[in-house]
Amino acid sequence: MATEIVMPSLADSVLEGTIVRWFVDEGDPVCEGQPLVEVETGKASVTYDAEHDGTVLALRAEMGESVPVGTVIAILGRSHETPDAGGGPDAGGGPDAGGGPDAGGGPDVDPARDAGVEPTPAPRVRASPLARRLATQLGVDLAALTGSGPQGRVTRSDVQRSDVERSGSRAVPRELELRCQVDMSRAVDLLDQLREFERPAPSPTDLLVRAAALALREIPVGDRGRRDGVGDASSRVHIGIAVATRTTVVVPTILDADRLSLRQIADAVRALASRARDGTIGPAELGASALCVYDLGMGGVDGMSAAVDGPQAAILAAGSLRRRPVVDEESGAVVARETIELTLACDHRIMHGADAAGFLARVRELLERPLAMLV
C-alpha cells in the first residue's frame, strides 16, 4: 500500500515548512533509512528518511516551496502502484476527466456532436505536479516527452533533460564568465593582526566567503538560487563552499552566511570542511545554496574556470594569493602587491551580466577594504 510522506513539525508553534532539497526523484527506488528530503521548519533543518523499501511514486512539493505542516509532500509505494489510485490530480472526476462546470446541469452545445461526429478527447499527459509547473516555466511541451516515471509518468528530470537538449541544439549559452584581480594587501595585513589575538585566525577563504555573503545581500539578483532550472528569489543568503576530498568535491552549505561574523564563518568553514573530508558530513549540511565559493589558492594556480552546478546561481573561484606586479593608482609606479584572481561563472538565466559585474565589483571592494567586514 502506498505511504504518504507529510511535512513534519519540529515544534507546536510551527505551522509550515520549506523543502530545502530532494535527495530522490519520482521513479527512484529507495531503501529503508535512505534520506528522502531535507526540510526546514522555523530555524531547524532535518532530513526525513524512508521508513521502508519502496519506490518514489510522486513528489508533491518543489524545492524552495513552503507548505503547511501535515501536507502530503511525497508518496512512497511499490513500483506497480499509482499515486492517483485514491483520487489524485490525475484521477477521474477532476476538471480534466471530462466533467466540466456544466456537467449534470443545463444543456451544453457541441457542434461536432450535433453534426453526428463524436469528438476525440486529447489524452491527458501523465506528469507530476513538479514536472507540469517546470514545463510551464521553461516552455516545454509535455506531450512531446517520454516519461521515465512509473507507468510512463513525466518527471521533473525528464523536463530538465528536454530543456537542456533543446537549449543545446539552439547553442544558447547558460554561463558567462567574469574575472578581476583583487589587491589583497590590506586583507593580508588584517589577517596578520588577527593572528595575534585569535587562534586559529580566519583565513583568506573566510574573508572571501564573508565578502560574497555581504555582496549577495546587497545585490538582489545575487540572492537567488536555481529551483528546478529557474530563478527563485529568497530573502536568505546561503553560501556553499567547495571542499575537495580524496575521491570527489562536495559543497557543504553555510546557512544565513550574511548574518554571521567573520569569526563565525571561519568556525563554520573549518567544521564543515573537516566533516566533508572525514566522511561524516550529513545530508542536511549539503542543502541548496545561492552561490558556491571555490578557493584553489593552496593549489598554486593563478585562476580557474568552474562550472555552475546544482541549485547555485553562480560559482566564485579564487586563485592563489601571491605577490604580483601592479600599477599604483597614486604614483603610477609598478609595485609588488599581494593579489588574487577571482572568476565568477553564473547562470545567466538568473544572474545577468550587469548584475554579475556589480556583484563581483562589490566583492572586490570589500576585500580591498576589509575593515568593513568586521562590523
Question: Looking at residue 130, which CATH number applies to its domain?
Answer: 2.40.50.100
For residue 165, the model assigns a pLDDT of 67
Find which of 5-14, 240-249, 303-312 is predicted with most confidence, using mean pLDDT.
Answer: 240-249
For residue 102, the model assigns a pLDDT of 41
What the block records as the C-alpha cell of 228 is 528546478
Question: What is the count of structural domains for the chain?
Answer: 2
pLDDT top residue among 313 and 96: 313
Of 169, 202, 231, the one marking the end of a domain is 169
Q: Is 239 inside any structural domain?
A: yes
pLDDT top residue among 16 and 343: 343
Find which of 139-153, 252-266, 324-338 is predicted with most confidence, using mean pLDDT.
Answer: 252-266
Paired residues of 22 in beta bridges: 37
CA–CA separation, 195 and 193 (whole Å): 5
Query: Measuring CA to CA, which residue among 345, 281, 283 is closest to residue 313?
Result: 345
Paired residues of 340 in beta bridges: 182
Q: Where are the alpha helices (DSSP H) in 72-128?
A: 111-114
CA–CA separation, 307 and 182 (whole Å): 21
My answer on whether 132 and 216 are in the same domain is no
Mean predicted confidence (pLDDT) in 23-30 = 87
Of 169, 200, 234, the one marking the end of a domain is 169
My answer on whether 189 and 144 are in the same domain is no
- Cβ burial of 208 (10 Å; 0-12, 13-18, 19+) is buried
Q: Within 10 A of 362 (CB to CB), how many other CB atoms are there?
A: 19
Query: Measuring CA to CA, which residue among 84, 83, 85, 76 is closest to residue 30?
Result: 76
CA–CA separation, 143 and 147 (whole Å): 10
pLDDT confidence tier of residue 6, bands split at 50, 70 and 90: confident
My answer on whether 324 and 204 are in the same domain is yes
What the block records as the C-alpha cell of 285 is 549540511
CA–CA separation, 280 and 41 (whole Å): 23
Q: Is the pTM of this model over 0.95?
A: no
- CB 251 within 8 Å of CB 241: yes
What the block records as the C-alpha cell of 45 is 533543518
The answer on pLDDT for 232 being more than 80 is: no
My answer on whether 164 and 241 are in the same domain is no
Q: Is 113 inside any structural domain?
A: no
My answer on whether 12 and 56 are in the same domain is yes
Paired residues of 8 in beta bridges: none
- CB 154 within 8 Å of CB 125: yes
What the block records as the C-alpha cell of 43 is 530555524
My answer on whether 233 and 319 are in the same domain is yes
Half-sphere exposure of 7 (CA within 13 A, CB side): 25
CA–CA separation, 153 and 149 (whole Å): 5
> Helix, strand or coil for residue 3?
strand
CA separation, residue 72 to residues 17, 106, 182, 298, 374 (Å)? 12, 37, 49, 47, 44
My answer on whether 285 and 160 are in the same domain is no
- CB 329 within 8 Å of CB 323: no
Q: Where are the beta strands (DSSP E) in 13-71?
A: 16-22, 29-30, 35-41, 44-49, 54-59, 66-68
Q: Which domain holds residue 142?
A: 3-92+125-169
